A and B are shown apart, each in its own frame.
Chain A
Amino acid sequence: MPTPHNTEAAATMTTAVIDHHDAPEHEEHHSSMPIDNRKLAIWTFIGSECLFFASLISTFLVYRGQSLKGPGPKDIFSVPLVTFGTAVLLFSSFFVVMALNGAQEGNRKKLITWLSLTVLAGCFFIGMQVYEFSHFYHEGMGYTTNLFSASFYTLTGFHGTHVAIGTLWLATVLKDAIKGNVPKEKALNLELAALYWHFVDVVWIIIFPVVYLMSLGS
């Protein structure tokens, strides 16, 4: 090993920069900002997803009324059903807040109850969409029938996929909770899933009027 030919100051500096005989037994994870890595990552991802949905929604709007043949939205939409699904999804955002609350308090029963409700709400929404899609299909609106159908199925289909992923994610947290694996300190696991869930809800709040209500008005 080359021997340092340096001044005392340099030796001090080396000690500071390089040398160490014993690393700290448990080095604290250093974080430059008052936010956890995983939470920052989810926020970042959500920011990116906004552009994803913005592009899909723009496409839907650009192609509004451009289909060469029917059926169009007026022929096919059943607004009451979707309104109900929307309401359920909205409530699920409240459910998940309660569940998170339970997790943070270390109240396992509260956590499991509210989280189960959230997962149920997610399943209901997916079920509604499956019903809606198969109904449309039997009415003669396939994916490739016209521009409206293609952009409608793409937009709402991708939203539905997001709901499904969110539901699956929440369900795994629920499974852990039932096994007793979500201690207070791990409430972050749920918090991340909840953030994503809120995002998926908010996107639907934009899709619902833009796709269903506006199409009926015009």
Chain B
Amino acid sequence: MATTVLDPTHAHAAKRSAVVEWLTTVDHKKIGILYGASAFIFFLIGGLEALIIRTQLMKPDNTLVSPEMYNQLFTMHGTTMIFLAVMPLSAMFFNFFVPLLIGARDVAFPRLNAMSFWVFLLGGLFLNASFLMGAAPNGGWFGYAPLSSRQFAGGLNMDFWVIGLQILGIASLAAGVNFFTTILNMRAPGMTLMRMPMFVWMTLITQILVLLSFPVITVALIMLMADRTFGSSFFSWAGGGDPMLWQHLFWVFGHPEVYILILPAFGIISEILPVFSRKPLFGYSAMVFSGAFIAFLGFGVWSHHMFSTGMGPLADSFFSLMTMLIAIPTGVKIFNWIGTIWGGSVQLKTPMWFALGFIAMFIIGGLSGVMHSVAPADLQQTDSYFVVAHFHYVLFGGSIFALTAGGYYWWPKMFGRMLDEKLGMTHFWLMLVGFNLTFFPMHFAGLLGMPRRIYTYPAGLGFELYNMMATAGAFLLGISFLVFIVNVIKTWRGPANAPADPWGGATLEWAIPSPPQEFNFPKLITVHEKDALWQMKREAGVSRLPEPDLVSGKGIHMPGPSWWPLVVAFGILIFFIGFMMKDPWAFPFRPVNILGFAITTFGIFKWAYEAPDAHAPQH
């Protein structure tokens, strides 16, 4: 059997300080952990903002926060949850698991991958730095012009938003190119497209959405930035510009964006259900095609966010119909998940509970979504708490439940430790109850006419009870995540006890030690079927793998660490910060922009001429 030799790359790395190692790492697994840790902290910040919002709305005529503060809170809450929590939490799974699931050593471009992370982190910190300057964004997460234009948002608030999003977009696009290439090109021998694990499929489709939708918001943001910095009038009536253009460009991006948030969740659920039902995914190809179809339709329905703008009956009918169509592939998915559980020998471990919770919550969110697709009904519901209830059922009940399920499922592989089942169950039930208590009553408050984005409401309109319930629920939700944190700390103190394959998994990541070695697979695996590991186990007549040993990585080339991704990320940040500076630094003499541009260019050149494995150990 294998000899246990410390891998030389690790021995080499041990000499550098841990901080430097994390700053310069290009290992997709470490980058995945960095994504996960940062995104979780941002998630807590966004949650804290939500709790303040809910405390303010707890009772009528409350004065905890000012209206101005309230605007900043919900804007930052929405922006944070979408761009700094859900997307990067998905990115954590892309990074850590896509290469493992396809049997690859790494992603296609490891240093680009590191750059994506640093750009994301700096962008997120930049956005939140706005609080320190007392000027957090206050124009809503969709930054509607002209509310976000200079004449109505004069301070730095919306500059932070425009520039922050612009920076985050670069991270997403770079990651999109990287994962698209990785999935198409780096699959293990024999892993055809129709043998890929469902999570990989959903990741691939998500990247296509990113690649096609982010350029559109980039252009919209460039124009808004130009309006704000230089005083052009793309979105201001005063100069002939049209705010409707902003809405179109934003939602051409914004609607696909909601699928960017939910498709990875679908993928995670599709990995978990088969393993805990001991049955292959029901209707694999239907799952693939429905995912692709959802993505395709996702581009044709953006204007259902604009029914109330007076586009006219023809446009409204068209977008209404297209939107309803999306219910079909989504329904296909739900039935396939249920079909997977049906007749399986279901094992109710924590990840499975969260997955089941996801299905239930997502169905509710999906149903209220279909209600919005009917334009006349939407005209009543739009901008009311009914909408707030709907999209939280999808985003929290969908994305966050699924991401949490994935967290429990893959934790042992990432950290070599099993999370505590009892605490996991506590987390689940608190979250389920808290979630429904928070958001279900919002449907009623909305139907009674409570508008969204109001900082308070008078007594006597029938909103009191629902708001009280929602606030109580929100605190339960907060507590549920405290339980998760306790779980992490507790198990962290315990022994590294996770076997390679704790759940009896179907996919390749369970074939290697927990946590995996830097090179993932000592030898590339040849795949003959989908559920490759199940097939191998079946042929060998065992239900669990023998515990794999650590092996020497001798002879395996892994890319060396690099500082340049970090340098480039800083350059990009500085370049964009330059656009916050208005009149005194008139065009074209903009020293901050020029400095940032210079750093970026310098970094890219150093990067391009740095040998990819310059620091790899000699062998």
**Chain A partners chain B:** yes
Question: Which residues of A approach B to under 8 Å, CB–CB?
Answer: 1-2, 4-7, 9-14, 16-25, 27, 30-33, 35, 37, 40-41, 44-45, 47-49, 51-52, 55-56, 59, 62-63, 66-68, 143-144, 146-147, 150-151, 154, 172
* CB-defined contacts of B239 to chain A, threshold 8 Å: 68, 144, 146-147
B556 within 8 A of A: yes
Partner of A154, one of B180, B222, B555: B222
* CB-defined contacts of B216 to chain A, threshold 8 Å: 51-52, 55
Q: A51 contacts B212, CB within 8 Å?
A: yes
Bound-state CA distance A32–B609 (Å) is 27
* CB-defined contacts of A37 to chain B, threshold 8 Å: 108-109, 181, 185-186
Given contacts A18-B548, A31-B186, contact A41 B178 (CB under 8 A): yes
B152 within 8 A of A: no
* CB-defined contacts of A62 to chain B, threshold 8 Å: 242, 245
Bound-state CA distance A20–B109 (Å) is 26
Distance (whole angstroms) from the CB of B397 to the closest CB of chain A = 31
Kindly name the residue among A16, A17, A21 whose own CB sees the greatest number of chain B CB atoms within 10 A. Answer: A17
Q: Produce 1/0 per residue, B575-619, CB < 8 A to A.
A: 000000000000100000000000000000100100000000000
User: What would be 22 A-B contacts, judged by CB atoms less than 8 Å apart?
Assistant: A4-B546, A4-B547, A9-B539, A10-B545, A13-B536, A13-B545, A16-B536, A18-B511, A18-B545, A18-B551, A19-B2, A20-B523, A23-B522, A24-B555, A31-B186, A32-B184, A44-B180, A59-B249, A66-B240, A67-B240, A144-B232, A147-B240
Q: A20 contacts B177, CB within 8 Å?
A: no
Q: B233 contacts A13, CB within 8 Å?
A: no
Q: B226 contacts A154, CB within 8 Å?
A: yes
Q: B234 contacts A7, CB within 8 Å?
A: no
Residue ID in chain A nearest B222 by CB atoms: A154
* CB-defined contacts of A44 to chain B, threshold 8 Å: 176-177, 180-181, 211
* CB-defined contacts of B557 to chain A, threshold 8 Å: 27
Q: B180 contacts A32, CB within 8 Å?
A: no
Q: A146 contacts B2, CB within 8 Å?
A: no
Bound-state CA distance A55–B220 (Å) is 8
Distance (whole angstroms) from the CB of A150 to the closest CB of chain B = 4
* CB-defined contacts of A143 to chain B, threshold 8 Å: 226, 230, 232, 587
* CB-defined contacts of B523 to chain A, threshold 8 Å: 16, 20, 23
- The secondary-structure label for the interface of chain B is loop
Bound-state CA distance A63–B220 (Å) is 14
B540 within 8 A of A: yes
* CB-defined contacts of B61 to chain A, threshold 8 Å: none
Given contacts A37-B181, A146-B239, contact A59 B540 (CB under 8 A): no
Distance (whole angstroms) from the CB of B504 to the closest CB of chain A = 14
* CB-defined contacts of A6 to chain B, threshold 8 Å: 540, 542, 546
Partner of A13, one of B2, B211, B215, B540: B540
B524 within 8 A of A: yes
* CB-defined contacts of A23 to chain B, threshold 8 Å: 522-523, 553-556
Partner of B551, one of A20, A47, A52, A67: A20
Kindly name the residue among A12, A18, A55, A146 whose own CB sees the greatest number of chain B CB atoms within 10 A. Answer: A18
B339 within 8 A of A: no
Partner of B211, one of A32, A35, A48, A154: A48
Distance (whole angstroms) from the CB of B306 to the closest CB of chain A = 15
Q: A52 contacts B553, CB within 8 Å?
A: no
Q: B541 contacts A48, CB within 8 Å?
A: no
* CB-defined contacts of B180 to chain A, threshold 8 Å: 40-41, 44
Q: A41 contacts B232, CB within 8 Å?
A: no
Partner of B185, one of A9, A35, A48: A35
B173 within 8 A of A: yes
Residue ID in chain B nearest A14 by CB atoms: B546
Bound-state CA distance A63–B241 (Å) is 8
Residue ID in chain B nearest A65 by CB atoms: B240
* CB-defined contacts of B240 to chain A, threshold 8 Å: 63, 66-68, 146-147
Distance (whole angstroms) from the CB of A76 to the closest CB of chain B = 17
For the complex of A and B, 8 pairs with smallest distance between CB atoms = A4-B546, A23-B555, A52-B215, A55-B219, A150-B232, A18-B548, A13-B540, A51-B215
* CB-defined contacts of A24 to chain B, threshold 8 Å: 555
Residue ID in chain A nearest B608 by CB atoms: A172
B281 within 8 A of A: no
Partner of B219, one of A59, A63, A67: A59
* CB-defined contacts of B212 to chain A, threshold 8 Å: 47-48, 51
Residue ID in chain B nearest A28 by CB atoms: B524
* CB-defined contacts of B187 to chain A, threshold 8 Å: 32
Q: B549 contacts A1, CB within 8 Å?
A: yes
Partner of A40, one of B184, B245, B249, B548: B184
Residue ID in chain B nearest A9 by CB atoms: B540
Q: A27 contacts B219, CB within 8 Å?
A: no
Bound-state CA distance A13–B191 (Å) is 18
17 additional contacts (CB under 8 A) given A19-B551, A48-B212, A55-B215: A16-B523, A21-B3, A24-B555, A27-B524, A30-B189, A32-B187, A37-B108, A40-B185, A41-B108, A48-B173, A51-B211, A51-B213, A55-B218, A56-B219, A63-B240, A144-B232, A144-B233
